[in-house]
Amino acid sequence: MRKAILAFIDFFHPPFKKFISIHNFRYLVTGGSTLALGIVSYYFAYFFIFKTKDVHFGSIVLLRETASLIVDYCVAIPTSFLLNKYIIFTHSELKGRVQLFRFLNLQFINILANYVLLKFLIELLRDYPTLSMLSRIVVSILMALFSYLYQHYFTFSVKKIGDKKVAKKH
Protein backbone atom coordinates (compact mmCIF):
# COMPACT_ATOMS: atom_id res chain seq x y z
CA MET A 1 0.00 0.00 0.00
CA ARG A 2 2.84 2.39 0.91
CA LYS A 3 4.54 1.81 -2.44
CA ALA A 4 1.31 2.45 -4.33
CA ILE A 5 0.64 5.70 -2.46
CA LEU A 6 4.22 6.90 -2.98
CA ALA A 7 4.14 5.96 -6.66
CA PHE A 8 0.94 7.95 -7.11
CA ILE A 9 2.35 11.01 -5.31
CA ASP A 10 5.74 10.75 -7.04
CA PHE A 11 4.04 10.70 -10.45
CA PHE A 12 3.11 14.37 -9.91
CA HIS A 13 6.51 15.49 -8.59
CA PRO A 14 8.55 16.01 -11.82
CA PRO A 15 7.21 19.52 -12.63
CA PHE A 16 8.07 20.61 -9.09
CA LYS A 17 11.43 18.87 -8.56
CA LYS A 18 13.42 22.04 -9.28
CA PHE A 19 11.61 23.80 -6.44
CA ILE A 20 10.93 21.17 -3.80
CA SER A 21 12.48 17.89 -2.68
CA ILE A 22 10.55 14.66 -3.07
CA HIS A 23 10.25 14.29 0.72
CA ASN A 24 8.77 17.76 1.17
CA PHE A 25 6.49 17.27 -1.84
CA ARG A 26 5.17 14.06 -0.31
CA TYR A 27 4.58 15.86 2.98
CA LEU A 28 2.67 18.66 1.23
CA VAL A 29 0.54 16.24 -0.76
CA THR A 30 -0.39 14.06 2.22
CA GLY A 31 -0.96 17.13 4.40
CA GLY A 32 -3.09 18.77 1.72
CA SER A 33 -5.03 15.54 1.26
CA THR A 34 -5.65 15.30 4.99
CA LEU A 35 -6.78 18.93 5.04
CA ALA A 36 -9.18 18.24 2.17
CA LEU A 37 -10.49 15.12 3.94
CA GLY A 38 -11.09 17.21 7.08
CA ILE A 39 -12.98 19.84 5.09
CA VAL A 40 -15.13 17.19 3.42
CA SER A 41 -15.77 15.54 6.82
CA TYR A 42 -16.78 18.90 8.31
CA TYR A 43 -19.09 19.61 5.35
CA PHE A 44 -20.69 16.15 5.52
CA ALA A 45 -21.22 16.39 9.29
CA TYR A 46 -22.55 19.95 9.09
CA PHE A 47 -25.05 19.35 6.29
CA PHE A 48 -25.99 15.69 6.66
CA ILE A 49 -25.37 14.51 10.24
CA PHE A 50 -26.15 17.55 12.39
CA LYS A 51 -29.23 19.28 11.02
CA THR A 52 -30.20 21.41 14.02
CA LYS A 53 -28.47 24.46 15.50
CA ASP A 54 -27.84 22.70 18.82
CA VAL A 55 -26.55 19.14 18.95
CA HIS A 56 -27.38 17.16 22.09
CA PHE A 57 -25.07 14.43 23.43
CA GLY A 58 -26.85 13.47 26.64
CA SER A 59 -26.46 16.47 28.94
CA ILE A 60 -23.86 18.11 26.68
CA VAL A 61 -25.12 20.60 24.10
CA LEU A 62 -22.84 21.73 21.28
CA LEU A 63 -23.35 24.12 18.42
CA ARG A 64 -23.65 22.45 15.05
CA GLU A 65 -20.33 24.01 13.96
CA THR A 66 -18.49 22.66 17.00
CA ALA A 67 -19.91 19.17 16.61
CA SER A 68 -18.92 19.20 12.93
CA LEU A 69 -15.42 20.35 13.83
CA ILE A 70 -15.12 17.44 16.27
CA VAL A 71 -16.05 15.04 13.45
CA ASP A 72 -13.46 16.76 11.24
CA TYR A 73 -10.75 16.22 13.89
CA CYS A 74 -11.83 12.62 14.56
CA VAL A 75 -11.31 11.83 10.87
CA ALA A 76 -8.34 14.04 9.98
CA ILE A 77 -6.07 13.53 13.01
CA PRO A 78 -5.83 9.71 12.85
CA THR A 79 -5.49 9.84 9.05
CA SER A 80 -2.73 12.42 9.33
CA PHE A 81 -0.86 10.39 11.95
CA LEU A 82 -1.03 7.20 9.88
CA LEU A 83 0.13 8.95 6.70
CA ASN A 84 3.00 10.65 8.50
CA LYS A 85 4.10 7.52 10.36
CA TYR A 86 3.84 5.01 7.52
CA ILE A 87 4.33 7.13 4.38
CA ILE A 88 6.39 10.24 5.17
CA PHE A 89 8.52 9.78 8.30
CA THR A 90 9.29 6.06 8.07
CA HIS A 91 12.93 6.50 9.12
CA SER A 92 12.07 7.04 12.80
CA GLU A 93 12.56 4.09 15.12
CA LEU A 94 10.75 5.68 18.06
CA LYS A 95 8.02 3.53 19.54
CA GLY A 96 4.60 4.15 18.01
CA ARG A 97 3.07 5.22 21.32
CA VAL A 98 5.79 7.88 21.76
CA GLN A 99 5.17 9.13 18.23
CA LEU A 100 1.41 9.16 18.83
CA PHE A 101 1.76 11.07 22.10
CA ARG A 102 4.02 13.65 20.45
CA PHE A 103 1.70 13.88 17.45
CA LEU A 104 -1.34 14.47 19.67
CA ASN A 105 0.62 17.19 21.50
CA LEU A 106 1.22 18.82 18.13
CA GLN A 107 -2.47 18.64 17.27
CA PHE A 108 -3.37 20.25 20.59
CA ILE A 109 -0.84 23.03 19.93
CA ASN A 110 -2.23 23.46 16.39
CA ILE A 111 -5.81 23.74 17.59
CA LEU A 112 -4.90 26.37 20.19
CA ALA A 113 -2.56 28.28 17.89
CA ASN A 114 -5.10 28.27 15.05
CA TYR A 115 -7.74 29.70 17.34
CA VAL A 116 -5.47 32.34 18.90
CA LEU A 117 -3.82 33.41 15.64
CA LEU A 118 -7.10 33.56 13.73
CA LYS A 119 -8.81 35.51 16.49
CA PHE A 120 -5.86 37.93 16.66
CA LEU A 121 -5.59 38.46 12.89
CA ILE A 122 -9.32 38.78 12.36
CA GLU A 123 -9.58 41.34 15.17
CA LEU A 124 -6.53 43.20 13.88
CA LEU A 125 -7.78 43.25 10.29
CA ARG A 126 -11.54 43.52 10.87
CA ASP A 127 -11.72 46.81 8.97
CA TYR A 128 -10.20 45.09 5.92
CA PRO A 129 -12.54 42.19 5.02
CA THR A 130 -10.37 40.81 2.22
CA LEU A 131 -7.26 40.72 4.40
CA SER A 132 -9.29 39.28 7.24
CA MET A 133 -10.35 36.38 5.01
CA LEU A 134 -6.76 35.84 3.91
CA SER A 135 -5.75 35.44 7.55
CA ARG A 136 -7.06 31.84 7.45
CA ILE A 137 -4.66 31.07 4.62
CA VAL A 138 -1.75 32.76 6.39
CA VAL A 139 -2.45 30.86 9.61
CA SER A 140 -2.74 27.57 7.69
CA ILE A 141 0.63 28.12 6.02
CA LEU A 142 2.31 29.07 9.30
CA MET A 143 0.85 26.03 11.07
CA ALA A 144 1.87 23.72 8.21
CA LEU A 145 5.47 24.96 8.44
CA PHE A 146 5.47 24.61 12.21
CA SER A 147 3.93 21.13 11.98
CA TYR A 148 6.51 19.94 9.50
CA LEU A 149 9.41 21.12 11.64
CA TYR A 150 7.84 19.72 14.82
CA GLN A 151 7.24 16.33 13.21
CA HIS A 152 10.59 16.15 11.44
CA TYR A 153 12.71 17.16 14.42
CA PHE A 154 10.61 15.86 17.31
CA THR A 155 7.65 13.53 16.68
CA PHE A 156 9.38 11.28 14.14
CA SER A 157 12.94 12.39 14.91
CA VAL A 158 16.17 10.74 13.86
CA LYS A 159 19.53 11.64 15.38
CA LYS A 160 22.58 11.71 13.09
CA ILE A 161 25.74 10.08 14.41
CA GLY A 162 28.59 10.52 11.97
CA ASP A 163 27.26 9.46 8.58
CA LYS A 164 24.57 7.18 10.03
CA LYS A 165 21.04 8.12 10.98
CA VAL A 166 19.93 6.66 14.28
CA ALA A 167 16.51 7.17 15.86
CA LYS A 168 16.47 9.01 19.17
CA LYS A 169 15.41 6.67 21.93
CA HIS A 170 13.59 8.07 24.94
- Determine the structural domain holding residue 3 and report its residue range: 1-88
* 76 lies in the same domain as 48: yes
Q: Taking Cα atoms as reference points, which of 147, 140, 149, 25 lies closest to residue 87?
A: 25
Number of domains making up the chain: 2
How does 99-128 read in b/e, with b if 16+ C-beta sit within 10 Å? beebbeebbeebeeeeeebbeebeeeeeee
Of 88, 123, 138, the position where a domain reaches its end is: 88
This prediction's pTM: 0.78
* 38 lies in the same domain as 80: yes
Of 26, 59, 88, the position where a domain reaches its end is: 88
* 141 lies in the same domain as 162: yes
The tens digit of pLDDT for each residue in 128-164 reads 767 766 776 788 888 888 888 888 888 887 766 555 5
Pair 147, 139: CB distance under 8 Å: no
* 120 lies in the same domain as 149: yes
The tens digit of pLDDT for each residue in 70-118 reads 899 999 999 999 999 999 988 888 899 999 999 999 999 988 988 888 7
d(CA 49, CA 88): 32
Of 46, 67, 88, the position where a domain reaches its end is: 88
* 12 lies in the same domain as 76: yes
